[in-house]
């Protein structure tokens, strides 16, 4: 009796591979090829002069530096958040879990507008020290006392981060946090706690158990989420422009510089700047994926 052919839910390999290649070509390879063709309109001296311009270099430095700092913060905060959501039961946990995806659903312009209003000099957080001094002095005046706190003496409590790298990092942490949480969370949910009990029975402390038993298991997912957070931060535009401003050499990010070049009809120069961003991000992602693959092979060896 001939065994019945195994039923496939989706079409066979040839058809699905064809669809995959067509989709990849139309939505990824073709736009990237167009970017390279437009950049090739520049001669090598023109291309080199464009990407080595001091204003462009400063924009690269700010973009990659702020993205790296935000990715490192998200790597730590995202791991801690995923751990809390998986390992603990507390009131409001489901609501907190749902809020993790909020940066995905929130329009980037709304996020940038919110952060800029918070960290303006007269915002809720940006002018906290001045407002606190004003409230204290107003209360003292109502009681007949002179100004209790000199003006600007609490300026160190002001957190006016608009047009500063710190403000850019804060926004990038907001948009990148879900990538780390959602990458690590499924791995922790599937983790068998018996390995922890076995390590504890052998005399390992909590930190040693996490470092030697748990973290190697979640490391590939954690590294993947951190890489995605970094890649998202490099290309983030809508939420950053409101708080970054457009001060060349200080708070001008590379995506904003690209838009400025497009507004000036310097299309080839804009694509040249974008090509550098693309190649640098691709190189970093390839290195991260290589490390992740190497770790997985070591684990399965």
Q: Tell whether 115 is covered by a domain.
A: no
The C-alpha angle 88, 93, 94, rounded to 5 degrees, equals 130
186 and 84 share one domain: yes
Q: Tell whether 114 is covered by a domain.
A: no
pLDDT reading at 139 higher than 80: no
Closest CA to 50 of 258, 252, 282, 233: 258
When the pLDDT of each residue in the chain is averaged and rounded to a whole number, the result is 81
* pLDDT tens-place string over residues 17-43: 888 888 888 888 888 888 888 888 888
39 and 153 share one domain: no
Gyration radius of the chain's alpha carbons: 25
Count of the separate structural domains present in the chain: 2
Quote the percentage of the chain above a pLDDT of 90.
21
Q: How confident is the model at residue 1 (pLDDT cuts 50, 70, 90)?
A: very low
Give the span between the Cα atoms of 173 and 161, in whole angstroms. Answer: 14
Say if CB 70 and CB 229 are below 8 A apart. yes
280 and 257 share one domain: yes
Q: Tell whether 86 is covered by a domain.
A: yes
Say if CB 252 and CB 246 are below 8 A apart. yes
Q: How confident is the model at residue 147 (pLDDT cuts 50, 70, 90)?
A: low
pLDDT reading at 81 higher than 50: yes
132 and 254 share one domain: no
Say if CB 175 and CB 103 are below 8 A apart. yes
Average pLDDT (156-180) is 81
Quote the percentage of the chain above a pLDDT of 70.
83
CATH number of 284's domain: 1.10.3720.10
149 and 175 share one domain: no
Looking at the chain, how many residues does it have? 301
Task: Flag the least confident range among 3-12, 231-240, 266-275.
Answer: 3-12
Give the structural domain span for 48: 32-109+163-300
Q: Tell whether 261 is covered by a domain.
A: yes
* CB neighbour class for 297 (10 Å; exposed up to 12, middle 13-18, buried from 19): exposed
Q: What is the pLDDT of residue 33?
A: 84
pTM above 0.75, yes or no: yes
Q: Tell whether 22 is covered by a domain.
A: no
46 and 139 share one domain: no
Say if CB 64 and CB 284 are below 8 A apart. no
48 and 179 share one domain: yes
């Amino acid at each position: 009796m001939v065994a019945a052919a195994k039923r496939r839910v989706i079409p066979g390999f040839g058809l699905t591979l064809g669809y995959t290649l067509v989709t990849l070509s139309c939505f990824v390879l073709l736009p990237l090829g167009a970017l390279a063709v437009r950049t090739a309109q520049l001669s090598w001296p023109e291309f080199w002069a464009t990407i080595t311009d001091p204003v462009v270099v400063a924009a690269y430095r700010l973009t990659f530096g702020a993205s790296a700092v935000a990715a490192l913060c998200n790597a730590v905060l995202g791991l801690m958040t995923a751990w809390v959501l998986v390992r603990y039961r507390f009131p409001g946990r489901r609501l907190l879990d749902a809020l993790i995806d909020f940066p995905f659903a929130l329009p980037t312009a709304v996020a940038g507008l919110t952060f800029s209003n918070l960290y303006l000099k007269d915002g809720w957080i940006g002018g906290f020290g001045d407002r606190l001094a004003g409230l204290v002095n107003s209360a003292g005046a109502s009681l007949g006392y002179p100004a209790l706190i000199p003006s600007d003496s609490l300026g160190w409590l002001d957190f006016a981060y608009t047009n500063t790298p710190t403000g850019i990092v804060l926004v990038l942490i907001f948009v990148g946090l879900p990538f780390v949480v959602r990458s690590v969370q499924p791995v922790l949910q599937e983790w068998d706690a018996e390995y922890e009990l076995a390590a504890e029975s052998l005399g390992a402390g909590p930190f040693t158990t996490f470092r030697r038993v748990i973290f190697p298991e979640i490391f590939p997912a954690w590294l993947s989420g951190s890489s995605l957070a970094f890649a998202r931060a490099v290309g983030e535009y809508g939420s950053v422009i409101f708080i970054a401003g457009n001060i060349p050499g200080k708070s001008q990010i590379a995506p904003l510089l690209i838009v400025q070049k497009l507004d000036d009809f310097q299309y080839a120069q804009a694509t040249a700047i974008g090509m550098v961003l693309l190649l640098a991000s691709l190189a970093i992602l390839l290195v991260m994926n290589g490390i992740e693959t190497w770790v997985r092979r070591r684990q399965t060896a």
